[in-house]
Structure formats: structure tokens, C-alpha cells
């Protein structure tokens, strides 16, 4: 690793490329399912990183689903856990959509960076209501 690259923070201590993005903060509002976050730009990385999420739901009996989109594209469902990642490149936007499937619920999403030792990226929460059919 060159001294200049090291001083500029372009390369990690292990000699790899920068895989820690600049701070990201998704916003989402409570309401009727589904609810979407803001689309936020992933920046400050050299190439691509792999992200995943972990979730908590209240009540525990509630079923929910999570989807993501890159650059305002098509929503793609993603299962929870580090075995299920999405790949995002520098300066792409990423948004999340949360669906309540069985009952009203509160969902907390913890987004993590599998490319950076499972470092936390952001946490956001939403309260979802399921429409009542006539």
C-alpha cells in the first residue's frame, strides 16, 4: 500500500479498497402498509459493498417482508440475515420498503455492511397498519 493512499484513507489497513460508506440515514414514516424509506446515496466507497439487514418485529407473531431498490428501480424482496446480501456501488441510491403481512406491527431494521466486518450502517423503525377490508 502506498503512503499517499494510506494517508488519504483510500485503502484499508489490510490493503483492500475502502468499503466503509459515508454516513447514511434513511427516513420512513408510519402508516398503512407498505411504507418506503427515502432513497439515500451510498458514497465514499471505492467499488461495491454487500449489505444485509436484521429485523425486530412487535408483536413477535406478526409477519412482514422487506424489499429494496437501487437507483429507483424495481423493488426486490430480500430475506433477513447475513446470508442474504444486496450489492451496491459508489454513488448509487438505495431505498427500502417494509410490508406488514398479517397484522399491525412495528418493525425495526438494522442495515449492516458485510463487506466491512458487519459494521452497522443505519437503523430505522416504522409502525405499519394493515387495511381493514369491508
pLDDT at 134: 77
The three-state secondary structure class of 99 is strand
| Closest C-alpha to 98, from 74, 73, 114, 78 | 78
Determine the Cα–Cα distance for residues 70 and 104; give it in Å rounded to an integer. 27
The number of residues in the chain equals 134
pLDDT of residue 133: 79
Class of the CATH-defined domain 31-129: mainly beta
Residue 99 has pLDDT above 70, yes or no: yes
Percent of the chain with pLDDT over 70: 88
* Average per-residue pLDDT for the chain: 90
Query: Mean pLDDT over residues 96-118, rounded?
Result: 98
Quote the pLDDT of residue 9.
46
Q: 35: how many CB neighbours lie within 10 A of its CB?
A: 19
What global pTM score does this model have? 0.86
The alpha carbon of residue 9 and the mean position of all alpha carbons in its chain are separated, in whole angstroms, by 24
pLDDT-derived band of residue 17, with 50, 70 and 90 as boundaries? confident
**Sheet holding 48-58: strands in order across?**
31-32, 119-129, 105-113, 48-58, 86-89
Looking at 1-118, which runs of residues are DSSP E strands?
A: 31-32, 35-36, 40-42, 48-58, 64-70, 76-77, 86-89, 92-100, 105-113
Tell me what the mean pLDDT of segment 89-102 comes to: 98
The confidence score (pLDDT) of residue 3 equals 43
- The predicted pLDDT at position 10 comes to 43
DSSP structure class, residue 115: G
Amino acid at each position: 500500500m502506498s503512503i499517499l493512499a494510506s494517508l488519504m484513507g483510500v485503502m484499508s489497513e489490510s490493503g483492500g479498497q475502502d468499503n466503509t460508506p459515508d454516513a447514511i440515514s434513511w427516513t420512513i414514516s408510519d402508516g398503512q402498509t407498505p411504507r418506503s424509506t427515502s432513497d439515500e446515496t451510498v458514497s465514499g466507497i471505492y467499488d461495491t459493498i454487500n449489505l444485509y439487514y436484521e429485523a425486530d418485529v412487535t408483536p413477535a407473531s406478526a409477519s412482514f417482508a422487506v424489499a429494496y431498490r437501487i437507483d429507483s428501480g424495481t423493488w426486490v424482496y430480500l430475506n433477513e440475515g447475513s446470508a442474504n446480501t444486496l450489492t451496491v456501488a459508489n454513488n448509487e441510491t438505495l431505498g427500502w420498503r417494509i410490508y406488514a403481512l398479517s397484522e399491525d406491527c412495528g418493525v425495526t431494521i438494522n442495515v449492516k455492511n458485510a463487506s466491512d466486518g458487519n459494521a452497522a450502517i443505519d437503523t430505522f423503525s416504522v409502525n405499519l397498519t394493515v387495511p381493514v377490508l369491508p
